[in-house]
Structure 1
Amino acid sequence: MIRTRHVLLSVLLTGALTACSSASGATGNGGEATEIRYQGWVGTVTYPELAESLGYLGDLELKWVGNTISGPQDIQATATGQVDAGGAFNGAIVKLRASGARVKAVAGYYGIDEERYTGFYVLDGSPIKTARDLIGKKIGVNTLGAHSEAVTKEYLKRGGLTPEEADKVELVVVPPVNTEQALRQKQIDVASLSDILREKALSRGGIHPLYTDFELFGPFTAGSFVLREDFIEENPATTRKFVEGFAKAVEWTQTRPREEVIAKYKEIITKRGRNEDVSAIDFWKSSGVAGKGGLIDPKEFQTWADWLEREGDIRPGQVEVADIYTNEFNPFGAGSAS
C-alpha cells in the first residue's frame, strides 16, 4: 500500500457540502422528485449544469449544495442521501458497491484520450526520472482511493517496485486548484494535473510529465455518475429525464466545436455567480468520454474490478459488474439495460 496522508494548504474550499436530509425536498406529479441535489467543482461545469443550461432537463430543477474536490466523497454523499447524484472514478464506484452501498452508475462523465488525461508532473530539473526515484517522495492528488492513486500504483508496479518500496511513496491530498502552486513551491515532489488545470500549468512552463494515465492505459471512459437504487425505484420518470438530459449534454460536448463548448461553459460559470475564475476554461479540449452520450461499456468497470481483486482491495467475486451499472435510461443505448 502507498502511504497516504492529508496536507493542509492555505486555501479553503468554497461552498463546502451543507447538511441535507436524506430525501429530495421537491416532489411533483405522482410524488416523484422534481429536484436533483448535486455538488459542483470549482471553475468547471458538470454535466447536470450543462444539461440544465441547454434545456435538456425539462422541468427538473438542480439544487447546488456545495463543491467537492473528491469523486469518492461525491458518490459517498450520494449513497448516504446527502445528494441525489454524484460522479467518481469507476474503480471507486466498484469499491463503494463492494462495501454494500446500493448505487448504480447510469452514464460515463469523464475519460481519457490524447486531449484529456491526467499527468503526473515534476519540475524541470527534478532528480525524479523513474518510478524508483519516487521512493520517499510526495505526490499531490485530489483525493485518496480514486483515479490518481490507481494510476500511481500501476506505474510503481510496472516500474518494478516491491510492495514494501511502494509503501514509501506518499500520496498527499491537495485541492486541484492549488496543486500546481504546491509543486512550484516544492511542498510536493510530483503533481497530479488533469484537463484544463494541466493545460494552464503547462502554458506557464517549467514542468514536464513523469507518467500519464493515457500512456499507461490508453483511451477509456474513467468515471461515471451514479444514483441510488432506491432513488431509481421511487423516481423512475425523474431518473429517465435526468439521465436523458445528462447523456444529451455529454453528446453535445462530443459533437460541438471546441469554441462553442468553451463559450457555453464560461456563460454558465459567470451566470451562477460563485466568484470563480473562468480563464482556465479556455484550455478545455475534450470530454474524454468514449461512449456516445456516456454509454457505459462493461469493460470500463470490469477492468477495475479485476485490478482491485489483484490488489487485494476486494475479494474475488465480491461484486458483479452487471449489477454496478445500467444503460437503460440512456437515449443513445436504444433503451437496452446492462
Structure 2
Amino acid sequence: MRRRLLAGMVAVALAGTLTACGTSSDSDSAGGDSGTGGVDKVKVGVIPIIDVAPIYLGQKQGFFSKRNIELTMEAGQGGAAIVPGVVSGQFQFGFSNFTSLMIAQTKSVPIKAVAAGVASTGVQGKDFGAVVVKGDSPIKTAAELAGKKISVNTLKNIGDTVTRESVRKAGGDPSKIEFVEMPFPNMPAALDGGQVDAAWVVEPQLTAIKAAGGREIASTFVDAAPNLTVAAYFASTELIAKDADLVTRFTEAINESLTYADANPDAVRAILADYTKIDEKGRAAVVLPKWPVEINKASVETLAKLGEQDGIFSGTPDLAKLLP
C-alpha cells in the first residue's frame, strides 16, 4: 500500500518479465513449481487484511489441495507492491484493489483478473470502509470534507477516488480535499491528535475508531457504486497463456473459498487470528465485507470513470483486457 512510484513499479515489472522469459528452461514452466504427484506449488501475493480471509479458509478446508494445488501466501504491502511480483513470477497469483490493477493496466503491465476478491456490503453505515471523524468534530456531512485534510493509505488510488465521489454526491467540491498518505494502523492516533480532520479507513481501524467515539461521515464504497467489487485476484497474461489448466483450477478453488466465506462469517472471524493481529474483541466486532463469486462489471466501470475523472490514470483503462 505504501509503494506508489508507478513508473518505477512498471519498469521493475516489465524488466522482471523479460528476465523471466529469458531465463526459463524446459524444466521451468510459467506456472507454479510442480511438486511430486503432479501437485503445483503456488505462491499468492496477498495483503494481511480481512479481505483475503477466503483464501486462508480455502486452504484450511482443502479447496486447493483437492485440485492439486499446494498453496503458500506471502504478505505484501498492497496491490502496487504485489503487481510486479506477479509479473516477474515471484507470485503465480496476487490480490489487489481494482484501482491499482487499472493503474497498472494503463501502464501496459501484462496482468489480468481471474476471480473476484472482495466487495462492499452495499449498505450505508454498515460497510467495511468509510470516512470517519472525531466524535466532537464540527464536520457533519461529506460535503463539509471539502477543504479538509483526510488521510488515505495510498495517494492517487481507490481511497481518494471513492472519497471524492462521496463529497461530490453530497454537494461538496472534491477538488479542495487535501489527502495525506499514511498506513491504516497510524490513522486512529493521527485523527485523535488532530493531524488530520478525517480518515478514510477500512476494518479493523473503522470499528476501532467508532469504539473510541468517532463518527462515520460517509460509506465511500457504497457511495461510489452499488455493490462495488473492490478487489480481485489476478495473474500475469503469460501464466494465463502458458498454464490455463492451473489458472482454471485456482479460479475454481478461489470461487469455492469465496462462497464458503460468505456463508460462514464465524469461520471468517476465527481464521483472522491466523494471519492478522486483530484481537478477539476486534474480530467479533468488525464489519465483514461480502465475497460474491461474480465481479460486478458495472461497478468496476464506474470506478474506472471516477478514477479517470479525478486524474488517477494516465490513460483510459481497457476493462475488456483486464476483466476475466
Normalized against structure 2, the TM-score is what? 0.77
Q: Which residue, 200, 205, 217 being the options, matches 1:210? A: 217
Against the structure 1 CA distance between its residues 109 and 45, is the aligned structure 2 distance closer, same or farther, given a 3 Å change threshold?
closer
Q: Which residue of 2 aligns with 1:219?
A: 227
Counterparts of 1:110-121 in structure 2 under 5 Å? 110-113=118-121, 114=123, 115-121=126-132
Counterpart CA distance in 1 for 2:195 and 2:317 is 39
Q: How well do the aligned residues superpose, as a CA RMSD in angstroms?
A: 3.2
Counterpart CA distance in 2 for 1:162 and 1:44 is 31
Structure 2 SS opposite 1:305: helix
Q: Unaligned 5+ residue runs, structure 2?
A: 4-15, 21-29
Q: Structure 2 counterpart of 1:260, which letter?
A: A
Counterpart CA distance in 1 for 2:47 and 2:287 is 20
Against the structure 1 CA distance between its residues 208 and 161, is the aligned structure 2 distance closer, same or farther, given a 3 Å change threshold?
closer
Against the structure 1 CA distance between its residues 121 and 297, is the aligned structure 2 distance closer, same or farther, given a 3 Å change threshold?
closer
Against the structure 1 CA distance between its residues 161 and 212, is the aligned structure 2 distance closer, same or farther, given a 3 Å change threshold?
same
Counterparts of 1:186-205 in structure 2 under 5 Å? 186-202=194-210, 204-205=211-212
Give the C-alpha shift of residue 55 in structure 1. Answer: 0.7
Count of residues in correspondence between the two structures: 293
More displaced, 190-199 or 48-57?
Answer: 190-199
**Contact 2:226–2:299, Cα closer than 8 Å, also in 1:** no
Q: Which residue of 1 aligns with 2:179?
A: 171
Counterpart CA distance in 1 for 2:205 and 2:86 is 26
Against the structure 1 CA distance between its residues 192 and 243, is the aligned structure 2 distance closer, same or farther, given a 3 Å change threshold?
same
Q: Which residue of 2 aligns with 1:17?
A: none
Counterparts of 1:92-171 in structure 2 under 5 Å? 92-113=100-121, 114=123, 115-131=126-142, 133-160=144-171, 166=175, 168-171=176-179
**Contact 1:24–1:37, Cα closer than 8 Å, also in 2:** no
Q: Which residue of 1 aligns with 2:45?
A: 38
Structure 1 SS opposite 2:33: coil
Counterpart CA distance in 2 for 1:234 and 1:132 is 50
Structure 1 SS opposite 2:199: strand
More displaced, 53-62 or 136-145?
Answer: 136-145
**Contact 1:94–1:301, Cα closer than 8 Å, also in 2:** no
1:307 matched to 2:306: yes
Q: Which residue, 226, 235, 248 being the options, matches 2:243? A: 235
Give the C-alpha shift of residue 285 in structure 1. Answer: 4.0
Q: Unaligned 5+ residue runs, structure 1?
A: 7-19, 327-338
Q: Which residue of 1 aligns with 2:279?
A: 278
Q: Structure 1 counterpart of 2:58, which letter?
A: A
Structure 2 SS opposite 1:34: strand
Identity of aligned residues (%): 22
Q: Which residue, 62, 80, 92 being the options, matches 2:71? A: 62
**Contact 1:106–1:225, Cα closer than 8 Å, also in 2:** yes
**Contact 1:108–1:224, Cα closer than 8 Å, also in 2:** yes
More displaced, 122-131 or 247-256?
Answer: 122-131
1:86 matched to 2:88: no
Give the C-alpha shift of residue 231 in structure 1. Answer: 1.3
Give the C-alpha shift of residue 136 in structure 1. Answer: 4.7
Counterpart CA distance in 2 for 1:148 and 1:127 is 22
